[in-house]
Chains A and B, each alone.
Chain A
Amino acid sequence: MDFELSEEHRMVERMVYDFARNEILPSIREHDRNGTFPHELLPKMAAQGFMGICLPVRYDGAGMDFISLGLLSEGLEWADSSVRETIAVHLGLHALPIFQWGTEEQKERFLPPLATGENIACFGLTEPGAGSDVAAMTSRVRKEGDTYLVSGEKMWITLSDVADRFLVFAKTNQEEGTRGITAFLLERGWEGLTTGTIKGKMGVRASNTGWINMDEVPVPESHRLGEEGEGFKIAMSCLDNARYTVAAGAVGLMKYCLEASVAYARQRRTFGQPIGDHQLVKQLIAQMKQRVDLGELAVRKVGWLKNRGMRNTRETSMAKWYCTESAFATASDAVQVHGAYGYSDEYDVERHLRNSKSAVIYEGTSQIHQLMQADYEFGNRTDRPLRCEMPAYDPEYWQQ
């Protein structure tokens, strides 16, 4: 058993945190205040290889492993959840599913522009009336010859107005429930495809969140991901990737809140001493550190499972549930340590608190994860092998 990060991982960690400190932190408060997407960061992130960090070099990725993906997510969300969301969606929910489920032709065609950031991608599963209950989706498909005509409305879609590639799910068979769902790769500019932005979010205001409207969008067979009816399995496997980045990101958010709280508690004085000398503040700090350490352990274990090519749906769900709930509690405690100042956006912990609420809702609410964990325990849920499994990380293959 080895808990130590490799030298390579430590260098990735240092570089990502430097990037977050120098490139994200200086401008993110203004983006959050104005609800603007930090477009200027995308080319910088792409130049660093972030957009395809764990895709193989043969598809223009950086060839790093899943621990590195976790460290990237952690470092980005240390600065702001919005930026980490870009990686979660673009890579976790779009590029990695193509790598897992796509034909070789699709991988060669779609992955390089995603890995280099030439294309920015999103994921459309949720609908106005169907979130956790995926089978309730009403997006539907009519086939004309070799062409699928996709119609429906997707809601709460991260990057909807920024992306130029869309992985969307719609029913090719209305009678079949989840077994009737198929996955399609759509491109901006296609007839019948329109997008918009949702305003007034509580947090992640520097992220773009919106809707996708599809009105008989013609999709050729070359853009169907997986088989007809395989969409639900694909969507769930996508979540195994993205939930990992969400969990890792939540650890980064907690680390920021802890660092900021310790620094503040050292310099803020009440009753003649730094507030960090008061026992109840110490308790808050100790609890934050406990969550950081346990969250990090859960995330690292999932990264390790992914590197080994082992199924990790349950462990990823656990890490996502624990880390996002812990991040919400930690950000709230950080605001408490900062007192009235923490309630102002002059201090970043206020933004982290608003941001942290989103992650206990998306990528499976905390309630869904609790149901999943209980169902595993009662034997009501087992993970059957998939037609296309995410392969184990093999440096030779990834870096060739």
Chain B
Amino acid sequence: MNIIALVKQTPDTAQLSASMDGLKLSAEGGPRIVNPWDEYTLETAIQAREEHGGKVTALCLGPPEAADALKTALAMGVDEAVLVSDPAMADSDSLTSARILVAAIRKVGAFDLIVGGRAAIDGNTAATAVQVAALLGVPLVSYVAELRNLDPSDRTLSAVRLLEKARETVTSRLPALITVVKEINEPRYPSLIGIRKAARANIPIWGCKDLSLDAAAVGAGASGVEWRTELPPVREAHIEMIDGGPEDAARTLVDRLMEEKVI
């Protein structure tokens, strides 16, 4: 099986001070990690390879330092890793990112399965992988919590999707793109032998030229999404004293809580 794992490098939100610049985390110089959802992506892809053979290629779109995320992917056990990076690609929105990733996927070649995480913890749009599937014209199975039958010979897969208040079992033809949630597996740690291999690896970088992309068609200028919300949101808090006896006060309290949609 040829498997492609979509990996993003994100700021380590657990170690990030609450510095926000508009909608963007001001994370320059701060610790960066593999998007936590993509750890499940990598584990899913590696397990599929271990069961069915073949090759896992990890693709990451990001700045040069995102190569670190791919080193982690290699240390966990993917076979190949490619960084898609070009200054022109900076600040692409999800659709533009998807277009870039599709160009990279086409350059990788034939694939049976693409795996992505349910979202990235920085932008949290949960849109890029969906758009990749749409642009490639392959079925999308999102929020996969269990991959039941991955059958390369029959060219099908069966998966359990984790939805709000429901689990849905679906089947799909291959090639397909799945996005995974954390219930799907327990990501492995990079092994020491994997680390040795990864540290020596030379990760190829594909820019606009390598992907035959027009630099004007990527990046912030080519992106339609504009963020206008100011973050962090202003916190409004006030205290209200409720007078009266216990019964009246309780009634008023319940009314007020329902009014505020707390209950």
Contacts and interface: CB of A to CB of B under 8 A. Distances in A.
A271 B251 CA distance: 39
B193 interface: yes
Given A11-B71, A11-B75, A49 B199 contact: no
B237 interface: no
A7 B71 CA distance: 9
A18 B190 CA distance: 10
Given A7-B71, A11-B72, A64 B196 contact: yes
A6 B196 contact: no
Contacts of A15: 75, 189-190, 192, 195
In this complex, the member of A11, A14, A49 whose beta carbon has the largest number of chain B beta carbons within 10 angstroms is A11
A373 interface: no
Interface in A350-391: none
Contacts of B196: 8, 63-64, 399
B191 interface: yes
A11 B198 contact: yes
B199 A6 contact: yes
Nearest to A49: B192
Name the prevailing secondary structure of the B interface residues: helix
A48 B199 contact: no
- Counting contact residues on chain B (CB < 8 A from A), the size range is 10 to 19
B192 A53 contact: yes
A91 B62 CA distance: 40
A42 interface: no
A8 B190 CA distance: 11
B120 to A, nearest CB: 19
Interface in A1-40: 6-8, 11-12, 14-15, 18-19
Contacts of B198: 11
Nearest to B199: A8
A235 interface: no
Contacts of A68: 192
Nearest to A54: B192
Interface string A63-93: 1100010000000000000000000000000
Contacts of A6: 199
B189 A12 contact: no
Given A8-B195, A64-B196, 20 more contacts: A6-B199, A8-B196, A8-B199, A11-B71, A11-B72, A11-B75, A11-B190, A11-B198, A11-B199, A12-B192, A12-B195, A15-B189, A15-B190, A15-B192, A18-B189, A48-B191, A49-B193, A62-B192, A64-B192, A399-B196
Interface of B: 71-72, 75, 189-193, 195-196, 198-199
20 contacts: A6-B199, A7-B71, A7-B199, A8-B195, A8-B199, A11-B75, A11-B190, A11-B195, A11-B199, A12-B192, A15-B189, A15-B190, A18-B189, A48-B189, A48-B191, A49-B192, A62-B193, A63-B192, A64-B192, A399-B196
Interface of A: 6-8, 11-12, 14-15, 18-19, 48-49, 53, 62-64, 68, 399
